[in-house]
Structure 1
Amino acid sequence: MGTDAYQDPGDLRLFHTGAHSCGYWPERTARDLVLDPRDPRLPRWYPMALGWGFRRSGDILYRPHCAGCRACVAARIPVRRFRPSRSQRRCLARNASVQLRVQPATRTDEQLALYQRYLRARHRDGGMDTHGAAEFDQFLSGSWNDGRFLELREDGRLLAVAVTDVVESALSAVYTFYEPGMAGRGLGTLAILRQLEWARQQGHRHLYLGYWIAGHPKMEYKRRFRPLEIHDGRAWRDLEPGDTA
């Protein structure tokens, strides 16, 4: 982490990380803006930080802050206004037998095995495919957040886990992993739809989806959830059909 720290008027310390390879465009160099991970007030700041476009990874709250690039755009779904599209309704119908179980954010052997299968299939040779129990806990569970593991099961079999943080008036979709051999089931889409259902039942206003990147093959799926709100650096607004950022 770099040393160019500063304090905002609210005494909240932020840091710039050093330059590192971009996780989305490998040919680019990235930097992040990070809230002080040692600050004991992080649980209290978390809901506001999400509203500012930040994201949790492990115990770190960060926001991309790259020179000359603003491709990563924070995105969220307004729960009350969301209506599933025709293809999303088909996904729900196709997976009508899948049950949702909301579990504490405590790793099980079954979850770890699924996580490792997913990483080997989706991120082979990318660095994450060697993750074990320690990396699972560090990346997904965190030590200060209020998290849940939303399990999707069919006939008792674990198909997917949506790691979800609960904050004041919102949920944050941290990470989802699922059975890699079931791509045709649309389990990633199903996980978001079930998170939205749970958010509506709990009275939450938003489901935060992390970052949307226009034109990136791994991020364009977020555009299919409508309406989708994006953060333009100052405020949230609805994503329009022709938007590229």
Structure 2
Amino acid sequence: MTEHFPSKIGLSQQFSCSYLPEQQEQLLVILDQNCYSPEHFEGLLELGFRRSGDQIYRPHCPKCNACESLRLPVQQFNASKSQKRKWNKLSDEFRIEINQQEQPNYYTLYEKYISLRHQDGSMYPPNHLQYESFLFCQWLPITFIELWHLETLIAVAVTDTMPNSLSAIYTFFDPDYEHYSLGTIMILAQINYARETHRQHLYLGYQIDSCKKMRYKTNYKPAQRFVNDIWVHSDTRQKSS
């Protein structure tokens, strides 16, 4: 580990879990402002923390421990036949671009994505304040991995950027292109970018095995899970659970 557990932390109130409705969610929140830097945050990622907006948090639920951080050692990643097939489905009309600054056309794409794909979620209806407070951060550099079809922006992967790792925050895309499996494409694009920039890990957020929406994360191997404060191989964790 590169970081000790912070001494200044807070505990949120309990609220309904958005992934497991029968459970109550509670969060540990980092209060020490010295932790709010790319280098310190990278150490906290190793301890199961994550970012939402400017805040660093980790689940600390009273009766549930279903959330497990998931990360991928990108240099060891081997794409499956299905993932290779989806990637190769993109013709020369598609291209990946890397941007270090938010662009004005992102919100229009985000708004369309939330409105058409997540009408039953907590982010609906979308608004600009929610978009900014959820995705962006004042103390951490963010990389925006874009997918274009000719002159049309069709997907953006918002990716936190640390010295030795990346963390996938959120991907939104044009639902008109859904048949291209853009969720898979954008994770593969993040893996490629991590490799090209010589980073060690891509953090994929929390895995909840009983939540269908998250099962796609287990398709990227060899993944590691943070279980009982130790990183273990994901396949080992699944066999023992």
TM-score (normalised: structure 1): 0.90
Any idea what the Cα deviations from partners look like across 1:142-183, whole Å, max 9, x if unmatched? Answer: 111111111111102111100001102100001111112322
Q: Which moved more, 1:111-120 or 1:41-50?
A: 41-50
C-alpha offsets along residues 8-34 of structure 1, whole Å, 9 cap, x if unaligned? Answer: x87641111000110101222110111
State the partner residue of 2:53. 58
- Could you tell me which residue of structure 2 aligns to residue 167 of structure 1? 162
8 A contact 2:5–2:47 mirrored in 1: no
1:103 aligns to 2:90 (yes or no):
no
Aligned to 1:63, the other structure's residue is in SS state strand
Partner of 1:116: 111
| Paired letter, 2:95 | Q
TM-score of the aligned structures, taking structure 2 as reference length: 0.92
> 3-state DSSP class of the match of 1:129?
coil
Spell out, residue by residue over 1:202-223, the C-alpha distance to the aligned partner (whole angstroms, 9 max, x if none).
0000000000111311100001
The structure 1 residue matched to 2:201, chosen from 206, 212, 224, is: 206
Which segments of 5 or more consecutive residues in structure 2 lack a partner in the other structure?
none
Aligned length: 236
1:181–1:11 Cα change, 3 Å: closer
State the AA in 1 paired with 2:185: L
Alignment CA distance shift 1:11-1:88 (3 Å): closer
d(CA) in 1 for partners of 2:18 and 2:144?
24
- Residue identity matched to 1:39: Q
Change (3 A) 1:96 1:204: farther
1:69 aligns with 2:64: yes
For residues 113 and 11 of structure 1, the distance between their equivalents in structure 2, rounded to whole angstroms, comes to 38
Q: For residues 46-84 of structure 1, give each alpha carbon's deviation from its aligned partner in whole angstroms, at most 9, with x where no partner exists.
A: 001100011111011111111121111100010111000
Helix, strand or coil: the match of 1:219?
A: helix
Amino acid at match of 1:137: E
Matched residue of 2:75: which SS? coil
**Conserved 8 A contact 1:166-1:172:** yes
C-alpha contact 2:146 2:155 (8 A) present in aligned 1 = yes
> 1:169 and 1:237 mapped to 2: Cα distance?
19
Give the counterpart of 2:171 among 158, 161, 176: 176
1:42 match? 36
Q: For residues 130-209 of structure 1, what are the structure 2 equivalents within 5 Å?
A: 130-209=125-204
Q: State the Cα distance separating 1:95 from its structure 2 match.
A: 1.8
Aligned counterpart, 1:6: none
Q: Distance in 1 between matches of 2:115 and 2:21?
A: 19
Structure 2 counterpart SS, 1:92: helix
Question: Which residue does 2:80 correspond to in 1?
Answer: 85
Contact 1:227 1:239 in 2 (8 A): yes
Residues in 1 aligned to 2:62 and 2:103: alpha-carbon distance in whole angstroms = 37
Percent identity over paired residues: 34
Q: Any idea what SS the aligned residue of 1:99 has?
A: strand
- What residue ranges of structure 1 are gaps of 5+ in the alignment? 1-8
Shift of 1:229: 0.5
